[in-house]
Amino acid sequence: MFLAVTLALSAAGCGRAYKHAMQRGDTFARAGDWDAAAAEYERAVRIEPDEVEAQRRLAGARRKQSEARTAESREALSRGELEKALFFARDAVAFEPVNQEARRAYVEARAAVFKRAEELLASGHDDAALALARAARRCDPNDRDAAALEGRVLDRMATRAYDRAVKYAAEGKRGNALLAFRDVEAARPGFRDAKQRAEDIRRALEDELRFFLVIEKPADTKASGVSALVEAELLRWKGDSRARLVAATDHEPPPNAAGVRIQAAFDTIARGHDVATQARTCDYVCGTDRLPNPAYDAASREVDEAERRARAAEGNARRAKKIVEDARRALTVATNFHDRAKADEKRKDRELDQCRATHKLPSECKAEDDRLEDARRARRDAENREDEAKREVERKEQEHGDAQQKVSDERDAWERAVAVLRRTPTTVLVDRICTHNYGVELHTWTAATSLALRAHVLGDANPVTLPADPITTRATDETFRAESGRCVEVAAGDPLRPPSDGDIEAALAARAVEKIRGQVFVWYAGYVQSYADDHAREKAAGRIEEANEAWVRHQITGPGLPPIGR
């Protein structure tokens, strides 16, 4: 009943939804909104797939949609909006495949797209031709003519880009040549030797754009060791992610090279040495004490517990034995009762035989026959009771055997516990811990100098001297005397290990190099920005090739050229 009611309610709900969808479709149809009307009729068909009226109205709405898209396609074609015309015609055919007017509109729009693409290709407007070819492919991915047209456009684009790249390379416009070779790869990957030539130009540009850090030895320095270490470390610098094209050298850079010439000088190293004391403690073994052994108490408790479990097991075994004896007596009674029942059955059987021997009719021995049947039932009952008594004896004997095994197991456990107790000493020797107090000397060495950096950006008229920059370093060590017979950590002592002059100079040099590199990053960032400024200026002036040269150089020196296709 519940299922029937549920189905009825569900059918009623579907009926209302179908009716509402049809009504909304009719409303949109009267307003001429055939897209909305078709959507509602399609919803009604999904609700009631077998309703012929919904299918009929949906087909009518689709026909109207097809007619409208056909008209829009022809209007777009007349305006020269070829892509719109093509997609409108495609939709018109999809809405009503049998609409011959829609099919003619699609053929006309497609022909116009192909014709215009060929014209654009012939006039050198490759990008516009490619856009039309790809629009035709999006409209129909299986259109082989569209795929062939796209391939011819890409071949033409790759060829023209390759020719442009060769021309630019011959003119020394390596930035434009690199972009053109990348255009070749974007259009047709693997076209001729474009990829290799692009890589060669990129490496040549990186060599051209290297930013030189020219290191000059100062005429005089008060910290010559630091100065020599700084120079050696900077000369090993090959740039990093922040300044990829830095090249450090102590030779004259190539003519017209970009970079900066620096001369670093250091003041006399001011040294300091402070000593402080600190009290510390440590623990050590200073003797032994004899104490009660906790393991002996635990072993003793285990013996008592094992004895308790063994006694409980023995009591259970005694009770199980008594139960077995009771079960055996019950079996004897049942066996005797069974024997008597069998004897009684035999006697009743003989009496029936005697009766049948003296009487001719069976009815005359009915009493004897009934007594025999009663005797048989009594014998069967006695036999069942005897069998049950036998099974009960077997169960109780098994339980008694298990109890006996439990007694044996618990006695073994008790003996093992006694053996452990006998082996366990009553007392143990325990280490006595004492505290030792000792003093530590904390040594701190400091060193300070200042970096005077003279810089001359290559190409500028005059060098500049940056404000003196203080550089400091700090080292620490501790020491204490050796004391035998006390803590392990103080037995050998800790000798003082003061930093050497070389250690101090190396630490100061490392900080100086870090500061100089930071300043080089600033100069290099200005170098990168100069190409960005050149690009903006040339682009604003309409000098596209010069703007491209600056853009490529900015990308190579800074963020790096984006992947092909971006």
Q: What is the pLDDT of residue 461?
A: 87
Chain segment 199-216, per-residue pLDDT in tens: 999 999 999 999 999 999
User: Do residues 475 and 504 lie in contact, with contact meaning Cβ atoms separated by under 8 Å?
Assistant: yes
Average pLDDT for residues 17-44, to the nearest whole number? 93
Its pTM stands at 0.62
With vertex at residue 530, the alpha carbon angle to CA 529 and CA 531, rounded to the nearest 5 degrees, is 90
Q: Residue type at 59?
A: A
pLDDT of residue 14: 63
* pLDDT of residue 20 exceeding 80: yes
Return d(Cα 313, Cα 325) in angstroms, integer.
19
Q: 28 versus 9: which is more confidently predicted? A: 28
How many C-beta neighbours within 10 Å does residue 144 have?
9
Per-residue model confidence as pLDDT tens digits over 349-392: 898 888 888 876 878 888 888 888 998 999 999 899 999 999 99
Predicted pLDDT at 5: 35
DSSP 43-96: HHHHH-TT-HHHHHHHHHHHHHHHHHHHHHHHHHHHHT-HHHHHHHHHHHHHH-
pLDDT above 70: residue 1: no
DSSP string, 104-162: HHHHHHHHHHHHHHHHHHHTT-HHHHHHHHHHHHHH-TT-HHHHHHHHHHHHHHHHHHH
pLDDT digits (tens, 9 = 90+) for 403-451: 999 989 999 999 999 999 899 999 999 999 999 999 999 999 999 999 9
**What does each C-alpha distance from 493 to 18, 222, 308, 439 come to in angstroms?**
97, 38, 59, 11
One-letter amino acid identity for 294? P
How sure is the predictor about 8, in pLDDT bands with cuts at 50, 70 and 90? Answer: very low
Q: How confident is the model at residue 565 (pLDDT cuts 50, 70, 90)?
A: low
